[in-house]
Structure 1
Amino acid sequence: LSYTNPWKKENSFIFNMPTLERKLLGGEDKYRILCKLQEGAHGTVYLAEDIHSQQRVAIKQISTSSKASRQAFLKEVEIATAVSPHDCIITTMDTTCSVGIGSIVMPLIPHDLVDWLPSKRHTRRSLCKFFFQICQAIGHLHSLRIAHLDIKLENILVDSLGNALLCDFGSAHYFDDSLEHPVGTVLYWSPEKAQDTNFDKAAADVWSLGILFYVLLTKSYPCVGTTEDEVINTLKNGKLSFHALESSKCSAAAKNLIHSMLQIQPSQRATIADVLRDPFFAQL
């Protein structure tokens, strides 16, 4: 099995595309769009250039044509700004807004884990380092009473020094926010998230971290199913398969950490503070 989400369209970052017709972002004569890099549920990311400094950046453009989409954009900007700066989180450099389009400007980071992992040779130690860095990022969010709610390989970037950076706050919410509909990616949903929109957001993030670590170490998912509906039913029934983990050469400490994060009952699940204090990380 590969690292890729089985339902994810192949849309890796591409830098060899011909430059599109030059246009200015938001009419503010500040950034020039060069080409599309990636399209997702919460917006489209473009390669762009600062007109004055010629610095290349990534710009996420989000539709703000409706009241709901404008509110979603403002929430994402508020949260992305609140959590930055942090060593393990993508920096928000600038934000702009024009008629019907909101934009978030970020450093240009060429790879996410989906396209970076298969192209490199890794040790378990390096994968565990990535995971610990993302745990640090989530610990920072939770200290601000913010949940990411869409932790996955695609939302983790790798910089030129080989460090992991958490990105994309389009699904993020404050702990006290109410949710009208489920957010995030089904393969990383917790069982309670699959059943109700009223769930412990911090505990759901820890579950997603458990899935992430499982995937990093085994290249497979513990949620059995070939469609989203099948995976949701697996989650609702609490019938995960840990065969790939148990048959792997992972240490007992790594297995115990994963099991602590993938407890079916949220009240029995490790918190992010528990995860960061886990003895497993002492060996890194």
Structure 2
Amino acid sequence: MFKKSNKTLTANILNRPPAEISDHFVMGKELGKGQFGVTHLCTDKKTGEQLACKSIAKRRLSTKEEVEDIRKEIAIMHHLAGHPNIVTLRGAFEDKQNVHIVMELCGGGELFDRIAARGHYSERAASGLVKTILSIVDYCHQKKIIHRDLKPENFLLSNKREDAPLKVTDFGLSVFFKDGEVFTETVGSAFYVAPEVLKGKYGKESDVWSCGVILYILLSGAPPFYGSTEKQIFNAVLKGNPDLTGEPWPHISDAAKDLIRRMLTLDPLKRISAADALRHPWVAADKASDKPLGAAVLKRIQKFSAANKMKKLALKVVACNLSREEISGLKKMFKEMDKDGSAASHTTSSERHAAPWAALFRPSSCSRSWRRLTWTTAAPSTTLSSSRQRCR
């Protein structure tokens, strides 16, 4: 059997007549770059609205799987249209060289950046964020879609206003599912992957686990399962049992900790669903404490967010190469993040909060991470390319 040539494989990815993107949009500055292409700011010629255009170079697609992934991502975004907290797909176009995916621009930055920038942060604020995240996941599950890569970096603010809505992005690893269907492919991101995903037998419940990890970080500034390598992180995930005794947990409400335990239940069949989590008193009652969680939590969130950005840059080094200016910025970012030297303190009492960074800076063992990059819909000042990880 002969392997299909690239030209045959990518002749008509969208199964529709070719269309010139320039007939509809004016392309602007570059927002991000990945191995398969580039994202530009673009302007709708009719309305003047600014959007993000992800242009995927067809010549870089070498397998049927990569072509199908593009079709699937577009189909899923179409299927999820209408939810106020899901990035809106505005159109998909194909010409001889590229597939162009146009979607709304999120110019408000990443979730953790917004939290870190606020002077006041409380359980009530975290409860509101989790309510939004769970509503997104519940909607996806009702529409028979598992996201499979829920993490803070995939939640962006639509604009810079204080009341800007939160939007979930990146459906590159998402799948349609049928009731009772079991998936075996190990995908996701180390800190957020569910134990059953690592075991190779999972369903929609894995999304709820990822939400539980996000909630844990929102309240403490550090992930519940950590290690200096991905293997150590995965071993911790498989054991479960998140620590809810050390700082800041004595100051966190019992209701919040109860929800975390329910979302991070090892057995997926006993784990709370997204719909039931929305009905949990800590989320539904809107009565969580408005007392500040403290400067230490905010500082840890800020450092964790900075570490994630550094990992994105590290992935870009491998996939696309960094310019001298970007390398200089990377060094500066690390110095700013590590003023107290805690990023290197893996054997001190601060190990609980420092150890996660080590894994963020190590090359991933997930082979497809290095050759499959996704592009953000964020404004240029807030985001760099992120990796689509398939964990091994």
Fold shared per TM-score above 0.5: yes
Question: For the residues of structure 1 that align with 2:20 and 2:65, how far apart are their CA atoms?
Answer: 20
Deviation (angstroms), 1:283: 2.8
Partner-residue secondary structure (3-state), 2:269: helix
The percent identity for this pair of structures is 28
Query: Quick one: structure 1 residues 68 and 257, their matched pair in 2 at CA, closer, same or farther if it must change by over 3 Å?
Result: same
Question: For the residues of structure 2 that align with 1:183 and 1:219, how far apart are their CA atoms?
Answer: 24
Query: Quick one: structure 1 residues 51 and 250, their matched pair in 2 at CA, closer, same or farther if it must change by over 3 Å?
Result: same
Deviation (angstroms), 1:39: 4.8
Task: Report matched runs for 1:95-244 at 5 Å.
Answer: 95-110=92-107, 111-121=109-119, 122-160=121-159, 161-176=163-178, 181-196=185-200, 198-200=201-203, 202-238=204-240, 240-244=242-246
Q: String of CA shifts for 1:3-30, please: whole Å, max 9, x gaps.
A: xxxxxxxxxxxxxxxxxxxxxx955433
| Structure 1 gap ranges (5+) | 1-24
Q: What is the aligned partner in structure 2 of residue 17 from structure 1?
A: none
| Structure 2 gap ranges (5+) | 1-18, 287-392
Q: Which moved more, 1:91-100 or 1:270-279?
A: 91-100
Question: For the residues of structure 1 that align with 2:184 and 2:70, how far apart are their CA atoms?
Answer: 16
What root-mean-square deviation, in Å, do the aligned CA atoms of Structure 1 and Structure 2 show?
A: 2.5
- May I ask how many residue pairs the two structures share in their alignment? 258
Q: What is the aligned partner in structure 1 of residue 85 from structure 2?
A: 88
Query: Quick one: structure 1 residues 76 and 63, their matched pair in 2 at CA, closer, same or farther if it must change by over 3 Å?
Result: farther
Question: For the residues of structure 2 that align with 1:61 and 1:180, how far apart are their CA atoms?
Answer: 30
Q: Which moved more, 1:136-145 or 1:225-234?
A: 225-234
**Greater relative contact order (Cα 8 A, min sep 6): structure 1 or 2?**
2
Conserved? CA contact 2:21–2:100, under 8 Å: no
Q: What is the aligned partner in structure 2 of residue 16 from structure 1?
A: none
Query: Quick one: structure 1 residues 239 and 277, their matched pair in 2 at CA, closer, same or farther if it must change by over 3 Å?
Result: closer
Question: For the residues of structure 2 that align with 1:146 and 1:35, how far apart are their CA atoms?
Answer: 33
Query: Quick one: structure 1 residues 180 and 74, their matched pair in 2 at CA, closer, same or farther if it must change by over 3 Å?
Result: farther
Amino acid aligned to 1:118:
A
Partner-residue secondary structure (3-state), 1:168: coil
Q: Provide runs of 4+ in structure 1 moved above 6 Å.
A: 40-43
More strand by share: 1
Deviation (angstroms), 1:98: 2.7
Conserved? CA contact 1:92–1:105, under 8 Å: yes
Query: What is the TM-score with the length of structure 2 in the denominator?
Result: 0.60
Partner-residue secondary structure (3-state), 1:267: coil
Query: What is the TM-score with the length of structure 1 in the denominator?
Result: 0.81
Partner-residue secondary structure (3-state), 1:103: strand
Conserved? CA contact 1:220–1:244, under 8 Å: no
Deviation (angstroms), 1:104: 2.1
Deviation (angstroms), 1:114: 3.5
Instruction: Determine if the alignment matches structure 1 residue 32 to structure 2 residue 26.
Output: yes
Query: Quick one: structure 1 residues 193 and 225, their matched pair in 2 at CA, closer, same or farther if it must change by over 3 Å?
Result: same
Deviation (angstroms), 1:43: 6.9
Among residues 259, 273, 284, which one is paired with 1:271 in the alignment?
273
Question: For the residues of structure 2 that align with 1:77 and 1:37, how far apart are their CA atoms?
Answer: 20
Partner-residue secondary structure (3-state), 1:266: coil
Amino acid aligned to 1:195:
K
Deviation (angstroms), 1:220: 0.6
Deviation (angstroms), 1:134: 1.2
Deviation (angstroms), 1:185: 1.1
Question: For the residues of structure 1 that align with 2:37 and 2:193, how far apart are their CA atoms?
Answer: 21
Partner-residue secondary structure (3-state), 2:258: helix
